[in-house]
Amino acid sequence: MEKRFIRITFFIGSITAISYLFFIFFRNYNSLENIEERCTRKFQKEVKEGVGKSDKEWGLNMDIANDNYFKCMKIP
């Protein structure tokens, strides 16, 4: 009986701890600062892809990167 109680307590405690860690992770992951940082890195990566291309291709690449940045930031 005592072993069963300990197992149940351990199981409930571990489920609670895992749930709490997921909650903290998602709250931190979806903070405004982290969203902005992720979008900025993605924008910079897309801009670097256009380096060395013609002016027309670079301009099109900048337009696409700019649109993707605003979508990432959820700005209409």
Higher pLDDT, 18 or 74: 18
Q: Under a CB-based contact definition with an 8 Å cutoff, are residues 43 and 69 in contact?
A: yes
Say what percent of the chain tops pLDDT 70: 100
Question: Rg of the chain's alpha carbons, rounded to an integer?
Answer: 23
pTM reported for the whole predicted model: 0.66
Higher pLDDT, 14 or 75: 14
| Local structure of residue 76 (DSSP, 8 states) | -
What's residue 19's pLDDT?
97
